């Protein structure tokens, strides 16, 4: 009975052995899927440390401060003068004005002004404490007088006067001539220096500054040529003159041409 069972077992094994392949295949592992966990964690071996942090240093360029250059302003130098002949310095810019001082060759001074209507110069002589006027022909000038301002004679600043201006002044025209008349101003002989006329008249189409004086009180009329044809009307004033100065001016009622 045992032999029969064993025989059958061997028979079955033999049959099975014949059906089996001669070599078992080797299993090929499948590649890991994205859900597989890697065998290691990628940890960096070092931390990169920057070698240097460049910090720019701002160098401030100094702002240039403007320093003005101070240029010295030259001091104006008035023209100098030297008298070249004996003459008079006067209180106005013509020979009609009152005498102010005697001048002699070699006297020195300087010019500080000139007159618009004549060539006379306003001067300060070294020997005098006051200014006066001189004709350019009697002095030698060093310097440019054309740079000087015009000066106007101020007769009321000259000393003082004990006398009033002439009264009852009239002016009568006869063609191109005007005759001016006035009442005599009685002065002492010591004080008497006559009269002064300052006028603007028209002659040959030119508007002229005109001056005239009498040396004493006794001549009380004067005739001057005055024509038509100038853009401005003729006019004039009359002064009493004494040795200390001039009276206030009296207006001449000038007749139109």
Domain ranges within the chain, ordered by starting residue: 80-153, 157-251
Please identify every stretch of the chain with a pLDDT value under 70, giving residue numbers as ranges: 1-75
Q: Which two tokens stand for residue 119?
A: 């060539």
CATH numeric code, 80-153:
2.30.30.40
What is the rounded distance in angstroms from the CA atom of residue 213 to the CA atom of residue 94? Answer: 10
- The CATH architecture of the domain made up of 157-251 is Sandwich (2.60)
Task: Provide the pLDDT for residue 216.
Answer: 98
Q: What is the reported pTM?
A: 0.70
16: enclosing H helix or E strand:
helix 2-19
Task: Provide the pLDDT for residue 63.
Answer: 60
Q: Determine contact, residues 166/214, Cβ cutoff 8 Å.
A: no
Task: Provide the pLDDT for residue 68.
Answer: 61
Task: Provide the pLDDT for residue 179.
Answer: 98
Q: Determine contact, residues 194/222, Cβ cutoff 8 Å.
A: no
In which region does residue 196 sit, left (phi positive, over 0), alpha (psi from -120 to 50) or beta (all else)?
Answer: beta
What is the rounded distance in angstroms from the CA atom of residue 99 to the CA atom of residue 90? Answer: 5
Task: Provide the pLDDT for residue 76.
Answer: 74
């Amino acid at each position: 009975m045992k032999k029969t069972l064993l025989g059958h077992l061997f028979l079955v094994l033999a049959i099975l052995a014949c059906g089996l392949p001669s070599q078992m295949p080797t299993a090929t592992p499948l590649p890991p899927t994205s859900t597989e966990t890697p065998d290691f964690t990628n940890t960096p071996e070092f931390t990169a440390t920057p070698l240097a942090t460049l910090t720019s240093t701002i160098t401030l360029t100094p702002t240039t401060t403007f320093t003005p250059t101070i240029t010295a302003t030259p001091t104006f130098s008035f023209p100098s003068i030297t008298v070249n002949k004996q003459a008079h310095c006067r209180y106005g810019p013509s020979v009609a004005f009152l005498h102010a001082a005697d001048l002699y060759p070699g006297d020195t001074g300087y010019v500080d002004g000139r007159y618009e209507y004549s060539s006379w110069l306003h001067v300060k002589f070294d020997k005098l404490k006051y200014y006066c006027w001189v004709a350019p022909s009697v002095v030698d000038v060093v310097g440019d007088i054309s740079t000087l301002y015009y000066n106007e004679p101020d007769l009321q600043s000259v000393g003082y006067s004990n006398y009033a201006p002439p009264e009852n002044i009239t002016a009568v025209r006869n063609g191109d001539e005007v005759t001016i008349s006035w009442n005599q101003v009685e002065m002492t002989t010591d004080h008497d220096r006559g009269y002064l006329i300052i006028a603007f008249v028209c002659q040959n189409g030119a508007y002229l500054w005109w001056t005239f004086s009498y040396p004493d009180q006794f001549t009380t009329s004067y005739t001057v040529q005055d024509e038509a044809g100038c853009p401005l009307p003729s006019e004039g004033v009359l002064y009493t003159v004494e040795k200390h100065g001039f009276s206030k001016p009296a207006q001449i009622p000038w007749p139109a041409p």
